[in-house]
Structure 1
Amino acid sequence: MKTKFLSNILLTLIWIFLTGEYNFNNFLFGFVLSFIILWILSGVEDKGSKKYFKIVPRIVSFFFFFIWELTKANIQVAYEVITPNFNMEPGIVALPLDAKTDLEITLLANLITLTPGTLALDVSTDRSVLYVHGMYVMNKKEFIADIKQGFEKRLLEILR
């Protein structure tokens, strides 16, 4: 997988040098173009090299998903701040974890904390539960399902 990534970067740099345009859009286009070329050329290689071609689209998808969730949460919190009504139903929820390693749990907790209106508080000693404070916990089961089907599922698809 590392060699595929390095090959992708090398082909991208070759593209940039050949075109003579040193900007982000050209880098992005070159990266996508070299990704497609490598994907086409890797038709008969081992299974391990195929992992790169699954992870990169998942990372891009996760990036856009996170931006979407971040935007929604910012609008929701901003609305709460500028309106005189108190619409919050704060609560602390015990989120059962499918994430097992320290990296998985740490990244999940940080993603939750980066989203306005939510805060990862603590992890149980057996690392099976993450305690999360939310500003809008109308229904605890829905709140848990949103995190598990959103952040945790997508994060684990990338890391595993």
Structure 2
Amino acid sequence: MSGSISRDSSTSTSQQTTHNNTNLTAANINLNTTQDTKIKGANLQATNQLNIDTKNLEVSSVQNKHKAKTRSQGASLGIGSSGVNSVGFNQSKADENSKTVLLTSMTAKQVNINTQAHTQLTGSLIAATDTGDKDGNDNGQLISPPTA
């Protein structure tokens, strides 16, 4: 006479945050406000000019996040005519954490930014695509007046 007994269990959890950037494309983009301007998780692309006149400007990117945990374990016991002839135990653990940045960008041939108080860039890009003359010299197309 022989027989076996086994028990297995497993658990799995997962959390995910997914963003999709908004895209705004136009020949010219003009943002004029006396209040604060926050651009987060967006891409602004102007063929010619991007003009921003605001009190405070905050430009930031967003992150996709994924977190997963898996745990499993099991045990077995085999019994034969001469008694216990096999014993087994297994255990596994897996953790996964990932983050992906979705870049927020504002680009145009000429970019003009005028803030009354503060400009903050967090993991983001502001760029003038008219990058200079044939030698790569800056031609002043990214304009942000100096603060007092």
Which interval holds the TM-score relative to the shorter structure? under 0.3
Rg (Cα) greater in structure: 2
Higher RCO (Cα < 8 Å, 6 or more apart): 2
Higher normalized helix content (fraction of residues): 1
Q: TM-score, normalised by structure 2?
A: 0.21
Q: TM-score, normalised by structure 1?
A: 0.20
